[in-house]
Amino acid sequence: MKYLITGGCGFLGTNLSAEVLQRGDELLVLDDLSRMGSDRNLEWLKKQGRFQFFQADIRSAGSMDEVIKKNRPNAVFHLAGQVAMTASLADPRLDFENNALGSLNLLEAVRRFSPGSTIAYSSTNKVYGDLEELEYAETPSRYVATGYERGFDEKTRIDFRSPYGCSKGSADQYMLDYARCFGLKTIVFRHSSIFGSRQFSTSEQGWIGWFVQQALEAKGSPGKDPFTISGNGKQVRDVLFSSDLVDCYFSAVESISRVRGQAFNIGGGADNSISLIELFTFLGRELGVELRYKSLPQRQSDQKVFVANVQKARKLFGWSPKVDKEQGLRKMIDWICQNAG
Ligand SMILES: NC(=O)c1ccc[n+]([C@@H]2O[C@H](COP(=O)([O-])OP(=O)(O)OC[C@H]3O[C@@H](n4cnc5c(N)ncnc54)[C@H](O)[C@@H]3O)[C@@H](O)[C@H]2O)c1
């Protein structure tokens, strides 16, 4: 198998790239190295095995054509993109060009030069919008979406919100439509929050890693100013550890004839859902530190609850998460301790 991974030096891309090398398959990595930490991931990947690296921008149709035409990969994992909701509000055009246009460039290159390639796309649960019309109950530590205790499935109404939601959602729909109109072998994963090693978190993206860093800093300097959170901390997400994400992409590719042209909600599921308050309680207990934080207003387009119902993925390609949230969080703490600075 020959794999092309766009965004292959990002958090998820690096984990997927490492797995290709581990399997002894052929690997092509495309990344513009714009993300903080991607250069470190590239150096780390070079130590894992041999691969071709293209420092290229998915916004350039010419670059995408050239890479696809020359290499005709069996499968493309499309991870490159603009990843932060806040950045999309600051520069909607840049966000659109990266996520919507960049994805169309890939689809067009594959349609014209390598129509047999499978494309797996990393979409987001933000395609379901704010879900503000639902009823929410409140416990001392979390919101609960009444009637959706086992999560939201793929029949949930699509409702793009925020430039990031629109650009990712647009690419998500193009992926599905290129399967219908042109017979391409595309699959869409609507991801919840993912965390794990090789993730260089910022306050805008990678919240689990970010708060683990805050907790470790609070432990190192107890007098440190409180950190800030958006909202009251009761917002809930289901979290998925990176090794489960890797399994998902490879399992789906193996079943592509059955799953092509379909979207799947991929996350840790209800059993691995957690609120910020619950995360802080866990980290406080695990690290023996008291976490002090200040609440800012809720972020625009922030869902009170998103938990993926992953039954469709389980049924159609036999995937389900294996690493529970507490195991995953302990691995994340270890990784950040070893790679800080
Ligand atoms: N990590 C999550 O929790 C999560 C959740 C939902 C969806 N996703 C999606 O999964 C994908 C990967 O996420 P991640 O967490 O690994 O992000 P990341 O920022 O770590 O990785 C993205 C990579 O793409 C590269 N890149 C950005 N713009 C590019 C461009 N124009 N051309 C070429 N390369 C470019 C960056 O340098 C980076 O290495 C993203 O598309 C993201 O929207 C991630």
Q: Tens digits of per-residue pLDDT, 132-153? A: 999 999 999 999 999 998 999 9
What's the Cα-to-Cα distance from 240 to each of 5, 90, 273, 310, 323, rounded to whole Å?
Answer: 20, 28, 9, 11, 8
The pTM score is 0.97
Delimit the domains of the chain by residue range.
Answer: 2-339
Q: Tens digits of per-residue pLDDT, 72-119? A: 999 999 999 999 999 999 999 999 999 999 999 999 999 999 999 999
* Percent share of the chain, pLDDT over 70: 99
68: which 2 tokens? 């696809």
86: which 2 tokens? 């806040």
Cβ of 126 closer than 6 Å to ligand 1, yes or no, is no
Mean pLDDT score, 152-170: 97
Write down the pLDDT at residue 25.
Answer: 98
Are the CB atoms for 58 and 105 separated by under 8 Å?
yes
What's the Cα-to-Cα distance from 81 to each of 6, 103, 128, 201, rounded to whole Å?
Answer: 9, 9, 19, 16
**137 CB-side CA count, 13 A:** 6
Cβ of 32 closer than 6 Å to ligand 1, yes or no, is yes
136: which 2 tokens? 């929410």
Cβ of 122 closer than 6 Å to ligand 1, yes or no, is yes
Which residue, 75, 182, 81, is CA-closest to 124? 81
Rounded distance from Cα 323 to ligand 1 centre (Å): 22
- DSSP string covering 27-58: EEEEE---STTHHHHHHHHHTT---EEEE--T
Say if residue 204's pLDDT is above 70. Answer: yes
Rounded distance from Cα 240 to ligand 1 centre (Å): 16
pLDDT band at 234 (very low <50, low <70, confident <90, very high): very high
Nearest CA to ligand 1 atom 42: 83
Ligand 1 pocket mutation pick from 68, 83, 128 by most atoms within 8 angstroms of CB = 83
pLDDT band at 224 (very low <50, low <70, confident <90, very high): confident
> CATH for 2-339, among 3.30.70.3270, 3.30.565.10, 3.30.465.10, 3.40.50.720?
3.40.50.720
Rounded distance from Cα 285 to ligand 1 centre (Å): 31
What's the Cα-to-Cα distance from 220 to each of 200, 228, 290, rounded to whole Å?
Answer: 19, 18, 12
Q: Is 136 a catalytic residue?
A: no
Cβ of 191 closer than 6 Å to ligand 1, yes or no, is yes
Q: Give 173: exposed, middle or buried? Use CB within 10 Å, 0-12, 13-18, 19+.
A: middle
Q: Which of 121, 143, 164, 174 is catalytic?
A: 164
